[in-house]
Structure 1
Amino acid sequence: MTSTAQIPSTPLLPISPRPVAVIDIGATSIRMAIAEIHPDGEVRTLDTLVQPVDLGREAFAIRRLSRKSIERAAAILKQYQRVLREYGITSNENVRVVATTAVREALNRLAFTDRAYIVTGLTVETIDEAEVSRITYMGIAPQLRSDPELADGRSIVAEVGGGNTEVLVIRSGNVLHSQSYRLGSLRLLQLLDQARVLPSRRRGFLESHIRRTLDNMVDDVQPDPTNRMVAFGGDIRFAAHRLLDDWDGVSLAPLATDRLAEFTDEVLKLDEDTIVRRYGASFIEAETLGPALLGYTMLAQAFQQPSLFVCDTNLRDGLLHDMAVGGSWTAEFRNQIVRSALGLGRRFDFDEAHARNVAELSRKLFDQLKPEHKLDYRHEVILHVAALLHEIGLMINVRSNHKHALYVIRNSEIFGLSKSELLQVGLLARYHRRAYPQPSHEGYGALGREERVVVAKLASILRLAIALDDTRSGRIREIECTRESRQLVINVPGVDDVSLEQVAMRQNAGLFRDVFGMPVLLRAGR
């Protein structure tokens, strides 16, 4: 009888959580959050730090940051770096540093980011409004989903910052509108200083300027009785902590608009020293508190909200969630981008059936040609959006519609796409017909080599997809790409006659041949 020896199994060791940190360089402070990301994607915040800076006052007034402010910011980052080492975070891959409105608007922002890199080795990423909206959504979406009243409703999510007011309209998890408005507490204070307004007239002056922006907001976001307003930001959290005795500081908390208005009236009557003594605020908080709370109050009143929900979520929460998914665009986020693009297309009365079919064919070509183009998931989204919007310029002018498409897309907002990504989408639409990419063309010549190659690759794929739907009948939906004798063969199963599409393919495949070195043959299914 033969016995079989039992090999003892080695128990699997638990995977340790990954320590990470995010640093947010804002208009009035530099804040850091240290957290750990668990294997299941859960993010647990370990520590938060804040240091005041005065970047916004300089950037908004003279559009430059002083040497003193740059050195102050660099010193804070160096201090934060020492704290990171205490937490065992020594690799810059586990740290993300972003700068928002103040640094973005400074003409010498490169001097700022370069100095930070020289002192700390950290790369400061200056993010635009679209990236702020995307990160905000990443942070706020879990909060909305967890609340029964907000999960399936229509929420106006707003933050009155030092430089801008960010607004997202979300319904059932879908972003209906996103916009950044040049309304901020520091900007309002600068207007007061420039106008030398008497103390007795300060309130009326602030209300007048806030109301101008609110009129635009109301036009963009139509009032609706089903709306619910969600407010986040340091100033509204400060007010909530003093008005809501039972708030745990974490969950969504309803705050009556009338109570907020009363507290705002009280704060606006006080000077900064009194606010510091009475409410325990820092001097930075005391300076911006009144104008910011007035902005929140008037926003709630403009949308006829008897109360608003105060949320503890901030930009750093969104950054941490973004790091937890590896900075990749989730399927849910991709859908948000596509919905926003469809909304833009509908405003220009595009041929939606044709656009959708070209977009789907582009996706299939992108997927089957991965060994050739070697691009990632984000590029597929950019191609998909460009395919949806490639004819958006037809409403303006038929003959030069490709050029008008570039202009419209570059000057529009598509939720989740940065200005750089919008330019790439616009260039793909510009090159869906006629001339091939040239260095002298608007926008294209300013791209770096890597981005130019990406645009050329994606534009060549887009032209193939357009040829496949040349009849606009949608009859070609499935394709099979093969490589035969150094050429790309696109087989169309289930379609016996593709003679019209073959003519279009011969006209459209030249760019693909030049970029990938492969001619294209379109063949009917057998």
Structure 2
Amino acid sequence: MSETTERSTSAGLMPPRTVAVIDIGATSIRMAVAEISDLGLVRTIDSLTRKITLGEDVFKSRQITRSSIEECVRILRSYQKVLLEYGITSAVDIRVVATSAVREAANRLAFLDRVFVATGLEVESIEEAEVNRITYMGIQPHLDSDPKLAVAKSVVVEVGGGSTEVLVVRSGNVLFSETHRLGSLRLAERLESLGAPGMRRRSIMETQIRQTVARIREQVFAEDGKIELIALGGDMRFAASHILGDWDGGTLARVSVDALDALVNEVLKYNEDEIVQKLNVNFSDATTLGPALLSNLMLARIFQLDTVLVSDTNLRDGLLLEMASEGRWTAEFRNQILRSAMTLGRKCDFDQPYAKHVAASASLLFEQLKAEHQLDAKYEVMLHVAALLHEIGMFVDVRSNHKHAMYLIRNSEIFGLSRQDVLLVALVARYHRRAHPQPGHEGYGSLSRSERVAVAKMAALLRLAIAMHDSRSGRVQEFKCIKQRDRLVIEVPRVEDVTLEQLAVRQNSTLFEEVFGLRVMVRAEQ
């Protein structure tokens, strides 16, 4: 166990907050303990890893076995003893997440409930989009600190036990993110189920990997520019340490693709017992080492690279950074979400200038009416996204375009937003016109009360923002909201005649009146 350093007690400095994150993956449960300073700086002070067989269970039968569930409970209880030693007892200082194996398990809820009953720990089964978002938070400091990576197109890849996460970043902008059902444990289980002889194992894996690698290549090459492949994951960390010898993990390691090829050839000629003996890895890692390294090698080869960068960044790093920010979305992260939304809008041939005007006004309403809606800042981002995309349904048909917009948004990935976030955005866009929210509407009735209220509030604000731009001329650049008893006055400067806006608001403010209890009027600045 790592030693903690003496905490500062200097005047004006708060002692660091000690927190922990636990990642339940397909092949292991990992925990990181860290200190977060009052400036939001994170210092990891302890890391623990215990092997499990969740992925083996789920990828074979889609069920987590009873014995595996109890093994997870035992590991988590042992971690709780460690947390107690660090004085970490509050739920707000502990975050536990589960990835692909738990997410895909048919008895996922039974697993989550059993863990809660036995340990009191709330486990979040995080979605693919959430994993990509957290991965970006973890890798971003490396990208920002390296001038070459800051301008290159960086393809960040992690071949995990159950899936391969791909994140493409250029000049700080996330071009796209995606998750593929290609994982090292899945490949190993596939080989075992086929009973393939040793000489055919590589060709079978290459066939499986090639399909995914080709899809990734096609997406990445849709954009021009120099490519840097940044590999994450324990298997590539092992490769970097094995090949370079003196890599401490503190910086990005540059590994020769030829050296990686030689290591892959060496690993694939051994069985699991020989890998354990000759390369000094544990048995569970020996099972996935070959498939993971081969997947990374084939990616490097298809991009015609001479070297691959390896990072020791992991999911826990991103989780800790998120805890340090106390769940707030930074301005840069907000911009990443909006850029992803703009990309979707352009795919649907939206009216970009108009959409940006409406979105800006929606955000202005959100800011000026905080006392009325009392929503968290993340809802401003969702409202802005819904405002940008509210007309994309016209790409399908002008008739019922609000419903088409909901369908398109709901079935798209917007970087940084979870599936539930995307659903809320889709519903807000759906309610930009016509019917008000109803319990029988698809998606809306299944929301919690707080989510239903948030959707209604955002939709009401969006309708006002749209009404303020009924002329589609962009002439309303700013306005001021003034509350007067039971009405809201929107005062518009530098526009002499606001008759059109007055009429549009009168026709589109009924939802706002229902939700907030305020009549709305528009007037020119006096």
CA distance in 1 between partners of 2:279 and 2:503 (Å): 75
CA distance in 1 between partners of 2:426 and 2:186 (Å): 32
Structure 2 partner of 1:163 = 162
CA distance in 2 between partners of 1:364 and 1:376 (Å): 15
Residue 486 (structure 2) pairs with residue 486 (structure 1): yes
TM-score (norm 2): 0.96
- 1:400 Cα deviation (Å)? 1.3
Q: Work out whether residues 152 and 225 of structure 2, in 8 Å CA contact, stay in contact via their aligned partners in 1.
A: no
Residue 394 (structure 2) pairs with residue 394 (structure 1): yes
CA distance in 2 between partners of 1:27 and 1:256 (Å): 29
Structure 1 partner of 2:11 = 12
Residue 320 (structure 2) pairs with residue 320 (structure 1): yes
Structure 1 counterpart of 2:46, one-letter code? D
**For structure 1, which segment, 55-64 or 41-50, has the greater mean C-alpha deviation from structure 2 after superposition?**
55-64
Structure 2 partner of 1:71 = 70
Structure 1 counterpart of 2:120, one-letter code? G
- 1:201 Cα deviation (Å)? 1.1
Q: Could you report, residue by residue, the CA deviation over 1:276-308 in whole angstroms, capped at 9, with x for unpaired residues?
A: 111110111101000000000001111111111
Structure 2 counterpart of 1:22, one-letter code? V
TM-score (norm 1): 0.96
Structure 2 partner of 1:258 = 258
- 1:13 Cα deviation (Å)? 5.0
Q: Work out whether residues 159 and 182 of structure 2, in 8 Å CA contact, stay in contact via their aligned partners in 1.
A: yes
CA distance in 2 between partners of 1:385 and 1:197 (Å): 49
Structure 2 partner of 1:37 = 36
CA distance in 2 between partners of 1:48 and 1:315 (Å): 13
- 1:225 Cα deviation (Å)? 5.4
Aligned ranges 1:344-493 → 2 under 5 Å: 344-493=344-493
Aligned ranges 1:78-477 → 2 under 5 Å: 78-222=77-221, 224=224, 226-477=226-477
- 1:14 Cα deviation (Å)? 3.1
1:96 alignment partner, SS class: strand
Paired residues in the alignment total 517
Structure 2 counterpart of 1:16, one-letter code? P
1:403 alignment partner, SS class: helix
Structure 1 counterpart of 2:321, one-letter code? H
Cα RMSD, aligned residues only: 1.3
Q: Could you report, residue by residue, the CA deviation over 1:237-279 in whole angstroms, capped at 9, with x for unpaired residues?
A: 0111111123122210100111101101110111111101111
Structure 2 partner of 1:7 = none
CA distance in 1 between partners of 2:451 and 2:371 (Å): 19
CA distance in 2 between partners of 1:304 and 1:443 (Å): 45
CA distance in 1 between partners of 2:141 and 2:176 (Å): 18
Structure 1 partner of 2:7 = none
CA distance in 2 between partners of 1:38 and 1:379 (Å): 27
2:96 alignment partner, SS class: strand
CA distance in 1 between partners of 2:14 and 2:395 (Å): 56
CA distance in 2 between partners of 1:486 and 1:319 (Å): 44
Structure 1 counterpart of 2:91, one-letter code? N
Structure 2 counterpart of 1:336, one-letter code? Q
Structure 1 counterpart of 2:404, one-letter code? H
Residue 56 (structure 2) pairs with residue 57 (structure 1): yes
Q: Could you report, residue by residue, the CA deviation over 1:189-240 in whole angstroms, capped at 9, with x for unpaired residues?
A: 2222233323221111100010111121112111755111110100000111
Q: Work out whether residues 13 and 38 of structure 2, in 8 Å CA contact, stay in contact via their aligned partners in 1.
A: no
Structure 1 counterpart of 2:336, one-letter code? Q
1:192 alignment partner, SS class: helix
CA distance in 1 between partners of 2:521 and 2:170 (Å): 45
- 1:152 Cα deviation (Å)? 2.3
Question: Any gaps of 5 or more consecutive residues in structure 1?
Answer: 1-10
Q: Could you report, residue by residue, the CA deviation over 1:459-503 in whole angstroms, capped at 9, with x for unpaired residues?
A: 010000000001100000111111123011111111111111222
2:308 alignment partner, SS class: strand
CA distance in 2 between partners of 1:123 and 1:376 (Å): 22
**For structure 1, which segment, 451-460 or 52-61, has the greater mean C-alpha deviation from structure 2 after superposition?**
52-61
Q: Work out whether residues 153 and 225 of structure 2, in 8 Å CA contact, stay in contact via their aligned partners in 1.
A: no
Distance 1:311 1:506, change over 3 A: same
Q: Could you report, residue by residue, the CA deviation over 1:71-93 in whole angstroms, capped at 9, with x for unpaired residues?
A: 11111111000001111112121
Question: Any gaps of 5 or more consecutive residues in structure 2?
Answer: 1-9
Structure 2 counterpart of 1:461, one-letter code? L
Identity %: 58
**For structure 1, which segment, 26-35 or 166-175, has the greater mean C-alpha deviation from structure 2 after superposition?**
166-175
Structure 2 partner of 1:5 = none
1:417 alignment partner, SS class: coil
